[in-house]
Amino acid sequence: MQLLLDREQELRERYGISFRITGIASRRLGWIADHTGLDPQACLSGSISPSPGLTNVRTWLSAARADVLFEATSLNVENGQPAIDHIRAPLQHGAHAITANKGPIVHAYRDLRDLAVARGKRFLFESTVMDGVPIFSFFDQLPAIHLRGFHGILNSTTNVILTEMENGLNFEESIKKAQALGIAETDPTHDIDGYDAAVKTAALITVLMDVPIRLDEIPREGIRTLTAEAVRAAKKEARPYKLICRAKKTEHGITATVRPEQIPQTDPMSQITGTSSYIYFETDIFPGLALTEENPGLYATAYGMLADFVRAVTP
């Protein structure tokens, strides 16, 4: 929201977009709505009280008279809830839905996409993979192309941990470092055990290859079993460990994996360290088309939602 406010003038002058914040909801703040507009600073600081009578996303959306909803709950690997409901509700209400949560893509992409089309609204999720780098929009700009496979490094937490282990820290210290950097969550299980990377892989397969895939169809191995010694030895022999996501179209569908791999020096992935990420697409027209995000800034993920907002409300 800070970024949205920072760019308010530019959005107005350059894109003709003006907005007001008419609702905010979180576990901590409760349901808050005022269709005449809330004070953004109060929203940011959290010094704002719940609105009486609001008990769920539907009453809240109505009170806010929302045109666009930003959904940013955390990942539920099991079933994508409550984010799926948080996206379905605004689409049914007649608002665009923008999410930074990849759960709904894996668990309900076609439903939500079709609902958005039926209501003439947008369901956008550019922040879900590689922060706000417009991967999905990039493919919108590649009409009639055939994606045959991809591989990449898509989880920052494990990449930071591996880099820190290479630099001499042990596993636990590396996790603490990633947490201190604001990259890893308090419970980094989703990252370390490869769930986050697997969900991103599934999201890319689902959207870009138009093949729904369940998480249990992606063999998944995290970095928990790698010792600092093994990581440093691999680095020393110039074949560093990275947590690699892979997907490939085959005659029988899609095969995908998430697991630590030793990457030879000749592969650009060997140089992706810290919070950087990378994806390499194999297509019929471009045998290799890669995107690298180096050291994303503080607002990289928020930017993806801002860009989705511009996409949603401009013709």
Could you list the residues that contact a copy of itself (CB under 8 A)? 7, 10-11, 14-15, 131-134, 137-138, 140-145, 266, 268, 271, 276, 280, 284-297, 299-300, 303, 306-307, 310-311, 314
Q: 167 or 292: whose CB is closer to a copy of itself?
A: 292
Q: What CA–CA distance (Å, rounded) separates 121 from 68?
A: 9
Tokens of 177: 């470092």
Do 234 and 241 touch, CB atoms closer than 8 A? yes
Tokens of 153: 């490094």
Determine how many CB atoms are found less than 10 A away from the CB of residue 168.
10
Q: 49 or 266: whose CB is closer to a copy of itself?
A: 266
Q: 253 or 264: whose CB is closer to a copy of itself?
A: 264
Least distance to a copy of itself from the beta carbon of 278, Å?
Answer: 9
Q: 118 or 238: whose CB is closer to a copy of itself?
A: 238
Q: 64 or 130: whose CB is closer to a copy of itself?
A: 130
Least distance to a copy of itself from the beta carbon of 22, Å?
Answer: 22
Q: 92 or 292: whose CB is closer to a copy of itself?
A: 292
Backbone angles phi, psi at 97, to 5 degrees: -120, 125
Do 154 and 184 touch, CB atoms closer than 8 A? no
Which DSSP symbol is given to 220? B
Least distance to a copy of itself from the beta carbon of 251, Å?
Answer: 20
Least distance to a copy of itself from the beta carbon of 294, Å?
Answer: 3
Least distance to a copy of itself from the beta carbon of 14, Å?
Answer: 7
Do 226 and 260 touch, CB atoms closer than 8 A? yes
- Token pair 């930071």 in the structure block, residue: 160
- List residues bridging with 68 in a β-sheet: 96
Least distance to a copy of itself from the beta carbon of 52, Å?
Answer: 36
Q: What CA–CA distance (Å, rounded) separates 216 from 257?
A: 11
